[in-house]
């Protein structure tokens, strides 16, 4: 049960609130509709806004609450981070992709990085001065990330990278990237991978935006030829990138699990249906009832994750449960909303009710059902990790990478 | 299951209480005993119930001390029900403590119901007769009218689907003042087992571990419980609490189903590998876990809301009852499927859990019923918020 604040927490919350009152950006509380504008200009404006807000937080000492002070953090607790996130949401300030990469690569550098790497990369990351992207997936390495083929070779004191990445979120806006590449094909797949930090502004990098189902340019193809980075930018050593990679993926999972910026609520649909008289229809009540129950259950599950955090316990519900339900139920709710619009459900964008909000959500299922690991892969994880079921027989563990069969 | 599902929201004392109950059920009512009860056609073994009451104080666990009980909360009763649900234990705990006692306490007010609840706490079995032949879950649909007034009223008519009636010492009956409608005029009346004009006819249940009966009143004398005609709100509140408690009972059975399925998937081999390594089976198990996490989270929230008298408790009870039932049913089906041919035998227990899941999913209102009620409530709440009235809302939203 989401308990009441302790005196100390209440004091912290008050401090956060008064700071937000003084510093919240002018656009706070009106972030909604802008998200539906998928033009490049709108995306640029979003980034600019997010960067400015990150800077404001940094100046106020709120950029990374749980990070140690020596790395520019506040040295605070996860509970304080939760309180800040709650208050920020209350002010109508949605999270941005900055939060996502901060939560993924930041802790990985703190854990695996050299002092030099921390000093070089963490402060501008926290200030929002440098934007990051995750260069993991490739055309032939998605769920099977350890099959990456992008080559890395050591030349003098540099790592030289050639290959292709794909589905790279925000690569077109990124200044830096963290990449996994194959530095040794003669050993089994997990043992020949190197994790490195690269500068995205160099001649060998070509970024081609890909248009998603929703019509935005969320992710990109990234072509790398003769891309160079100093060996001092290798994290955890040559061929020893896999532990860093799994650590990043774990952080990504945690971020997805607790992120509860639901833009839409089934209760709003009920209120609208009541106002329009549609609620007289038992079929309407039925479909809305399903959506309302699910919204509440998902909210209670998220509370449970937060409660564990508040009590300092390990979470007792697996993040994949929330990820799967968010993706599936979020989509079903949108389908109900669009159905409820009747013939207007044929429309989209500005011609549709509410600027096409629900149509947009209907079409964005893949962002959670594929991004951050597919639902199938997460179900495997639940079966194996949470329930202890046996893995599938594998043929690729102890064989040199170069001997493996990879499609195309 | 290689790893015990983490105890969720239970402190040490409650874990110990849960373990005591689990041992009791395993020892006093193993599946062989449950099968015995099913084969003999009696509703349950009275002496096991007596032991549960004498040794564990089960019947009165959540009844106020002032009413003769032990004064623990709905949480403890939910734990007990969960353990009985896990073992499909045919005992009248839901009927007596989870249904009748909750309704009586809600009608009279806690601490003012000792006359009726004292005996229940001591192990006398009570049940609630509110449903009628039409099977409408809403108490407003009550048609049975009382005859006469004051202390000397009589009942003439029928109630259906009454839990554990053949063994009950006392039946609390929902009936209405002549000519009244909807919630108005609803009253609660106690009929003694020996009353003249009372006959009880067992009904065959889809779930053979839960006793159902048709109860016929032929001018049976009854005593009003509380003010006759004004019991509507109490009855509703009691039924709402019973829904949350039944959800908790289902979660106990759900956990058993999940654990059984996963254990079998890990141990049964085909094609020289455990069937649980096939994704079709692994994903079924993962989906059971997903369903289970939602179910126990929703049920726990509803139970905690009762104990905290959270203004959100009615909605949380609806959410729990609406969500747990279908998830449990799904898991019970998949458990049978994962067991292959064995899962289709009478002898194997999987179908008993399926029967229990389907029947408990419907009892006290199925998912459709509670979803509908929830939507109406939300609409009313939202309408009152927009007109400026204070919403009766808890923080958990
Ligand atoms: C919105 C979005 C943003 C993304 N952002 C990034 C990013 O910033 N950086 C980055 O590196 N990547 C990113 N990705 C890529 C993402 O991680 C991959 O798309 C994902 O891991 C799946 O890989 P794939 O697309 O190659 O599909 P595949 O792995 O080829 O999967 C195809 C199908 O096969 C199924 N499948 C595959 N393996 C198994 C298995 N073992 N068991 C059962 N089914 C299986 C999958 O579930 C899927 O249905 C993003 C993706 C999306 C949609």
pLDDT band at B389; cut points 50, 70, 90: very low
Burial class (CB in 10 A: 0-12, 13-18, 19+), B301: buried
Mean pLDDT of A308-328: 88
Name every protein residue with a CB atom under 6 angstroms from any ligand 1 atom: A 134, 136-137, 142-143, 167-169, 218-219, 366-367, 370-371, 373-374, 376-377, 380; B 279
* Residue of A150, A209, A371, A406 with the most ligand 1 atoms within 8 Å of its CB, for mutation: A371
User: Is A41 an active-site residue?
Assistant: no
- Sorting pLDDT into bands at 50, 70 and 90, what band is A31? low
| Per-residue model confidence as pLDDT tens digits over B137-194 | 999 999 999 999 877 899 999 999 999 999 999 999 999 999 999 999 999 999 999 9
CATH (domain of B190): 2.40.110.10
Residue B393 — very low, low, confident or very high, per pLDDT cuts 50/70/90? Answer: very low
> Which of B66, B96, B121 is the endpoint of a domain?
B121
Specify the pLDDT at position A252.
Answer: 76
Domain closes at, from B212, B230, B248: B230
Question: Does B139 share its domain with B117?
Answer: no
Q: Are residues B135 and B220 in the same domain?
A: yes
Asked if residue B392 belongs to a domain, the reply is no
- Beta-carbon contacts of A319 under 8 Å, excluding residues fewer than 6 positions away, are A253, A254, A256, A257, A258, A305
Average pLDDT over residues B76-94: 97
Kindly report, residue by residue over A95-151, the tens digit of the pLDDT: 888 998 999 999 999 999 999 999 999 999 999 999 999 999 999 999 999 999 999
CA dist., res. B55 & res. B46, Å (int): 14
CATH architecture assignment, domain A7-129: Orthogonal Bundle (1.10)
Cα-based distances in Å from B165 to A99, B137, B171? 60, 18, 7
Whole-number Å distance between alpha carbons of B260 and B255? 8
Where does residue A41 rank: exposed (0-12), middle (13-18), buried (19+ CB within 10 A)?
exposed
Q: What is the CATH number of the domain that holds B42?
A: 1.10.540.10
**Which whole number is the average pLDDT over A72-83?**
91
What's the CA gap between A196 and A244, in Å, rounded?
Answer: 10
Cβ pair B266:A390 closer than 8 A: yes
Residues B321 and B362 in one domain: yes
Whether residues B254 and B364 fall in one domain = yes
Asked if A297 lies within 8 A of B298 by C-beta distance, the reply is yes
Domain assignment of residue B30, yes or no: yes
Which of A281, A297, A392 best probes binding to B when mutated, by most B CB atoms within 10 angstroms?
A297
- DSSP letters, A118-136, are HHHHHHHHHHTSS-EEEE-
Q: Which of B70, B89, B121 is the last residue of a domain?
A: B121
Please check the confidence at residue A37 and state whether its pLDDT lies above 90: no
**Spans of all domains in chain A:** 7-129, 133-241, 262-385
Same domain membership, residue B208 and residue B157: yes
Question: In the predicted model, what is the mean pLDDT of chain A?
Answer: 92
What pLDDT score does B397 carry? Answer: 33
Chain B residues within 8 A of A389 when measuring between CB atoms? 262, 265-266, 274, 276-277, 282, 285
Bridge partners (DSSP) listed for residue A229: A159
Among residues A43, A252, A267, A392, which one is catalytic? A252
CATH number of the domain enclosing B332: 1.20.140.10
* The pair of three-digit structure tokens given for residue B370, joined into one six-digit string: 């509670």
Task: Say which residue, A247 or A405, is predicted with more confidence.
Answer: A247
Structural domain that includes position B277: 233-387
Please give the CATH number for the structural domain made up of A262-385. 1.20.140.10
CA distance A129 to A120: 12
* B244, B355: one domain: yes
Position B308 pLDDT exceeds 50: yes
Is B19 within the bounds of a domain?
Answer: yes
DSSP bridge pairs for A182: A151, A193
In terms of domains, do B258 and B290 share one?
A: yes
pLDDT tens, position by position, A366-398 = 988 999 999 999 999 999 999 999 999 888 888
Its CATH class, for the domain covering A133-241, is: mainly beta
Does B6 reside within a domain? no
CA distance B137 to B244: 15
- In this prediction, residues A181-186 reach a mean pLDDT of 97
Determine contact, residues A390/B274, Cβ cutoff 8 Å: yes
Tokens representing B105?
């306490």
Average pLDDT of the segment spanning B113-135: 97
As a whole number of angstroms, the distance between CA A370 and CA B21 comes to 44
ipTM of the complex, rounded to two decimals: 0.93
Cβ atoms B303, B248 nearer than 8 A: yes
User: pTM score, two decimals?
Assistant: 0.94
What is the total count of domains within chain B?
A: 3
pLDDT beyond 70 at B333: yes
Do B106 and B145 have their domain in common? no
């Amino acid at each position: 049960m989401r308990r009441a604040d302790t005196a100390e927490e209440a004091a912290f919350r008050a401090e956060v609130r008064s700071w937000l009152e003084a510093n919240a950006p002018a656009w706070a509380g009106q972030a909604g509709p802008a998200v539906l504008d998928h033009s490049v200009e709108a995306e640029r404006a979003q980034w600019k806004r997010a960067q400015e807000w990150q800077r404001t937080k940094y100046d106020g000492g709120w950029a990374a609450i749980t990070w140690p002070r020596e790395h520019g953090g506040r040295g605070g607790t996860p509970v304080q981070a939760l309180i800040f996130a709650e208050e920020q949401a209350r002010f109508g300030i949605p999270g941005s992709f900055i939060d996502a990469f901060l939560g993924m690569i930041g802790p990985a550098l703190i854990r695996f990085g050299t002092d030099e790497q921390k000093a070089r990369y963490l402060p501008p990351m926290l200030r929002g001065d440098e934007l990051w992207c995750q260069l993991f997936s490739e055309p032939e390495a998605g769920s099977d990330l350890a099959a990456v083929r992008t080559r890395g070779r050591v030349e003098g004191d540099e790592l030289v990278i050639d290959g292709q990445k794909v589905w790279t979120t925000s690569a077109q806006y990124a200044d830096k990237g963290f990449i996994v590449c194959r530095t040794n094909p003669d050993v089994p797949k997990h043992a020949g991978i190197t994790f490195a930090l690269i500068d995205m502004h160099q001649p060998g990098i070509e970024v081609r935006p890909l248009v998603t189902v929703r019509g935005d340019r969320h992710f990109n193809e990234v072509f790398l030829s003769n891309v160079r980075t100093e060996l001092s930018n290798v994290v955890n050593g040559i061929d020893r990138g896999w532990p860093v990679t799994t650590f990043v993926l774990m952080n990504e999972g945690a971020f997805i699990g607790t992120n509860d910026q639901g833009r839409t609520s089934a209760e709003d649909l009920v209120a609208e249906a009541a106002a329009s008289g549609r609620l007289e229809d038992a079929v309407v009540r039925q479909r809305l009832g399903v959506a309302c129950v699910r919204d509440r259950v998902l909210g209670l599950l998220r509370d449970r994750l937060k409660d564990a955090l508040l009590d300092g316990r390990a979470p007792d519900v697996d993040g994949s449960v929330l990820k799967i339900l968010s993706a599936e139920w979020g989509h079903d709710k949108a389908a109900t909303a669009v159905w409820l619009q009747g013939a207007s459900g044929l429309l989209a964008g500005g011609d549709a009710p509410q600027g096409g909000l629900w149509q947009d959500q209907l079409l964005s299922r893949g962002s959670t059902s594929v991004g951050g690991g597919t639902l199938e892969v997460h179900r495997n994880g639940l079966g194996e990790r949470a329930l202890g079921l046996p893995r599938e027989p594998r043929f690729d563990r102890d064989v040199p990478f170069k001997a493996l069969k990879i499609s195309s | 299951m290689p790893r015990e599902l983490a105890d969720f929201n239970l402190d040490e004392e409650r874990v110990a209480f849960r373990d005591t109950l689990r041992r009791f059920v395993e020892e006093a009512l193993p599946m062989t005993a449950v099968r015995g009860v099913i084969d003999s056609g009696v509703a349950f073994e009275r002496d096991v119930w007596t032991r549960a009451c004498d040794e564990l104080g089960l019947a009165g666990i959540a009844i106020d001390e002032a009413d003769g009980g032990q004064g623990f909360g709905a949480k403890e009763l939910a734990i007990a029900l969960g353990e009985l649900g896990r073992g499909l234990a045919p005992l009248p705990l839901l009927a007596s403590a989870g249904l009748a006692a909750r309704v009586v306490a809600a009608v009279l007010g806690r601490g003012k119901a000792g006359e009726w609840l004292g005996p229940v706490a001591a192990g006398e079995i009570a049940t609630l007769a509110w449903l009628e032949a039409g099977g409408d879950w809403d108490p407003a649909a009550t048609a049975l009218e009382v005859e006469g007034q004051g202390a000397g009223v009589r009942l003439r008519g029928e109630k259906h689907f009454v839990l554990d009636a053949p063994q009950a010492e006392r039946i609390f009956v929902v009936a209405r003042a002549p000519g009244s409608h909807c919630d108005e005029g609803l009253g609660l009346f106690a009929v003694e087992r020996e009353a003249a004009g009372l006959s009880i006819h067992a009904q065959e249940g889809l779930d053979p571990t839960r006793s159902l009966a048709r109860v016929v009143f032929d001018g049976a004398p009854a005593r009003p419980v509380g003010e006759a005609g004004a019991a509507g709100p109490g009855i509703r509140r009691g039924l709402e609490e019973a829904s949350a408690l039944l959800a908790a009972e289902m979660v106990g059975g759900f956990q058993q189903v999940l654990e059984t399925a996963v254990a079998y998937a890990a141990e049964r081999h085909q094609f020289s590998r455990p069937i649980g390594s096939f994704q079709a089976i692994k994903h079924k198990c993962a989906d059971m876990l997903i369903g289970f996490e939602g179910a126990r989270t929703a049920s726990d929230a509803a139970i905690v809301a009762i104990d905290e008298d959270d203004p959100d408790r009615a909605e949380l009870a609806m959410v729990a009852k609406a969500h747990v039932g279908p998830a449990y049913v799904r898991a019970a089906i998949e458990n049978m499927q994962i067991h292959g041919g064995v899962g289709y035998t009478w002898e194997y227990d999987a179908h008993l859990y399926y029967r229990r899941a389907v029947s408990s999913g419907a009892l006290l209102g199925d998912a459709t019923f509670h979803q509908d009620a929830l939507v109406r409530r939300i609409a009313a709440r939202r309408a009152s918020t927009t007109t400026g009235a204070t919403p009766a809302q808890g923080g958990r939203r």
